[in-house]
Amino acid sequence: MSSARQSSTWELRTQQILLPKSGLEFSECEDFIGADEENCRFAVADGATEAFDARNWAQRLAENWVRSDSALTPEAFHSWVATEGLALHSSWSQLALPWYAEEKARTGSFAAFVGLEIDLQTETPAWKAVALGDACLLHCRDGVLIKSLPLSSSASFNSAPLLVASEPSIYKTSEQSLVIDSGSCENNDVLFLLSDAAAAWYLKRFEQNTFSDLFEHNDGAALAEFFENERRTGRIRNDDIAVMRLEIQQRSIS
């Protein structure tokens, strides 16, 4: 409660689930969720499966962004990515790599990223978000989708999105696709941060008017079983799944 963004009027209820691809271990999961409730910052990063050291890059992006205080303007985000990329590449410099790893490392690493900052101190809670790639923010009110970014339809997901690159010259080619947006919340609004497979699945549910908030009635084990079944039936792609759910609630006055 010491953060400048916490408030005595509003509170956040957070829930999350992180699942590796079916048949893989958690240690192989390349999705990461970052959460700093004091700072009211949350993020999802999804390391590109084909990239070098994607797991570390995704973890670095998700965990360090929520602890930072800036990176919510294009310039600040570009600068923050450059710093993080440099640190990642420095961590490789002492490694004795075989030729193929050395070749792969030259192009750096890649991840989709969405970060969310919520300010509960204002009369109306407000959010700001930054996203690059196909990790998404969905803003829902009374079961209706009122905003989705950076992608807004389930048909928009493809296998080659522009991502956050750790290599500066490659990042330069994708930085124009950075999306920064903001919005305001009402009591009981729900915000989801999602990696791509889950985002496509959620958007499809909204498009088909079959959305129901799974988190309201399921614990982590039940959610894991639900998504595993969705994979088996082919309704969700067998990819890592990261879902961060944030519900804005007015504090009850006792």
Q: How far apart are CA 237 and CA 49, in angstroms?
A: 14
- Nearest distance from C-beta of residue 15 to another protein, angstroms: 29
Is residue 201 involved in binding another protein (CB under 8 A)? no
C-alpha distances out from residue 107 to 45, 163, 166, 224, Å: 19, 13, 8, 34
What angle, 0 to 180 degrees and rounded to 10, lies between the N-to-C axes of helices 74-92 and 54-67?
A: 130
Contact between 26 and another protein per CB under 8 A: no
Nearer to another protein among residue 170 and residue 185 (C-beta) = 170
**Inter-residue contact 181 to 169 (CB < 8 Å):** no
99 binds another protein (CB under 8 A): yes
Q: Does 171 bind another protein (CB under 8 A)?
A: yes
Stretch that binds another protein, among 71-79, 96-104, 143-151, 242-250 (CB under 8 A): 96-104
Q: Which of 123, 177, 117, 187 is nearest to 150 (CA)?
A: 177
Among 2, 169, 208, 252, binds another protein (CB under 8 A): 169
User: Is the Cβ of residue 98 or residue 123 nearer to another protein in the bound state?
Assistant: 98
Which of 10, 52, 110, 127 binds another protein (CB under 8 A)? It is 52
Residue 8 C-alpha from the chain's centroid: 27
- Judged by CB under 8 A, the residue of 27, 94, 159, 233 near another protein is 159
Considering the rule CB under 8 A, would residue 77 count as an interface residue with another protein?
no
Distance CA 178, CA 220 (A): 32
Burial class (CB in 10 A: 0-12, 13-18, 19+), 196: buried
Alpha helices in the chain (DSSP H): 54-67, 74-92, 99-106, 168-174, 196-207, 220-232
Q: Is 103 in the site for another protein (CB under 8 A)?
A: yes
Report the candidate in 131, 143, 248, 149 with the shortest Cα–Cα distance to residue 206: 143
- The residue from 4, 83, 153, 172 that contacts another protein (CB under 8 A) is 172
Q: Which is nearer to another protein, 39 or 238 (CB)?
A: 238
Please count the other Cβ atoms lying within 10 Å of the Cβ belonging to residue 134.
25
CB of 169 to another protein, least distance (A): 3
Residues 220-249 contacting another protein, CB under 8 A: 238
The nearest distance, CB 21 to another protein, in angstroms, is: 8
Which residues sit at the interface with another protein, rule CB under 8 A?
A: 23, 50, 52-53, 55, 95, 97-104, 106, 159-160, 168-173, 238
